[in-house]
Amino acid sequence: MTDLITALAAIVLGPLATFGLYYLLNLLVNLLPSVKMRKAFRPYVFIAPVLLLIGGLLVWPTLQSIVFSFMNDDSTEFIGLDNYFELFADPSFVQTVWNNVLWVVVVPVATIIAGLFIAVLTDKLGPIRERVFKSIIFMPMAISFVAASSIWRLNYSWSAGDEQIGMLNAFVKAIGGTPINWVQTDTLSLNSLMIMVIVIWANVGFAMTLLSAAIKAVPEETTEAASLDGATGAQAFFQVVLPQIWGTVVSVFITVLISSMKIFDVIWGMTGGNFGTNVLGVDFFLQYFVYNDTGKATAVVVLLMLAIIPVMYYQVRSYRKQEEIR
């Protein structure tokens, strides 16, 4: 009950405090002697709290993490690059990095393909059926990955006996196959791929919604012209529609890619990072909270940040190009 009251208080008091702060800042700006000065200072005064918040919650912790990554486990002694050397000398950490690479390749690509496929199919339905199907497909977005992990652990459940309660193994047995321990089988990264299915299932509704909106915004004249020129439906889509929605495709791809880079909860819920499924997000948690090694934990964070920076740069550059075209 206390947690509920605290949450409600935060919901109510947060906006009120923000309103009060900006109201006070506006009064202070109005005390300036001239209209010209008020117009010049007001934007900077209003943006200052946001910059301070970003500096306090993002920039400072980032700089602190970089410094701590060159320190020992309790951040009392400078040890240079030793944390990084020790991490990459550990075969299990190399496997962790490989798992992250697999995640950022498979999940975004599969999500885009599935999202495009569903968007195209549902757009061909009538308005009512389209809304119904899209609502059903979007529903997994409302489920946390912790809850999704519980659902899918049951689907992937395996037992040594004849009776299988997991839906997938029950199907495998029904067609005459041998049930598989999907969560613990790391051959060809099978268990990691099966966990990726959960994330794709959860993200495909997000991809479908944005891609469907982009497809609907494509002028019909362009697709009609392609049809008159003898293009098939597939040719019209790939040669006419896809280039026009490419900006949205890139945005969705990068959004899913970044979330895949820092994936944690679904893997922690499914395997705890065991059975060859560990990723950088889980490794950070283990280093910091289980092994109490601040140096290696922050080194993992820095590596993750270095991997994300080029992606963010590409996204900003792509967005600017799209704005120039418009």
Would residue 80 count as lying in a domain? no
Same domain assignment for residues 226 and 294: yes
The tokens 């900003």 sit on which residue? 316
Same domain assignment for residues 27 and 126: no
CA neighbor of 131 nearest in space, from 140, 142, 143, 123: 123
Task: Identify the pLDDT of residue 325.
Answer: 63
Q: Using the 3D structure, point to which of 33, 68, 103 is the last residue of a domain.
A: 68
DSSP SS3 for 52 = helix
Same domain assignment for residues 134 and 27: no
pTM: 0.85
Residues 6+ apart with CB under 8 A from 94: 88
Would residue 24 count as lying in a domain? yes
Task: Identify the pLDDT of residue 3.
Answer: 73
CATH of the domain at 142: 1.10.3720.10
CA distance 47 to 22: 10
Q: Domain tally for the chain?
A: 2
Same domain assignment for residues 56 and 170: no
Same domain assignment for residues 30 and 141: no
Q: Using the 3D structure, point to which of 37, 68, 99 is the last residue of a domain.
A: 68
Would residue 76 count as lying in a domain? no
> In the chain, which ranges are E strands?
none
Same domain assignment for residues 245 and 291: yes
Q: Using the 3D structure, point to which of 68, 99, 122 is the last residue of a domain.
A: 68
Same domain assignment for residues 48 and 155: no
CA distance 125 to 22: 48
Would residue 83 count as lying in a domain? no
Would residue 45 count as lying in a domain? yes
Q: HEC string of 193-226? A: HHHHHHHHHHHHHHHHHHHHHHHHCCCHHHHHHH
Would residue 86 count as lying in a domain? no
Would residue 84 count as lying in a domain? no
Cβ proximity of 141 and 202 under 8 Å: yes
pLDDT tens, N- to C-terminus, the chain (326 residues): 677 788 788 888 888 988 898 889 888 888 888 888 888 888 888 898 888 888 888 889 999 999 999 999 999 999 999 999 999 999 999 999 999 999 999 999 999 999 999 999 988 888 888 899 999 999 998 888 888 998 899 999 998 877 888 899 999 988 988 999 999 999 999 999 999 999 999 999 999 999 999 999 999 888 888 888 888 888 889 999 999 999 899 999 999 999 999 999 999 999 999 999 999 999 999 999 999 999 999 999 999 999 988 988 888 887 777 776 66
Task: Identify the pLDDT of residue 92.
Answer: 95
Same domain assignment for residues 40 and 175: no
Same domain assignment for residues 39 and 146: no
Residue range(s) defining the domain that contains residue 14: 2-68
Cβ proximity of 263 and 103 under 8 Å: yes
Same domain assignment for residues 288 and 204: yes
Same domain assignment for residues 102 and 50: no
For the record, the structure tokens of 6 come out as 């605290």
CA distance 7 to 225: 55
Would residue 302 count as lying in a domain? yes
Q: CB 116: neighbour CB atoms within 10 A? A: 23
CA distance 168 to 179: 8
Same domain assignment for residues 183 and 270: yes
Task: Identify the pLDDT of residue 312.
Answer: 85
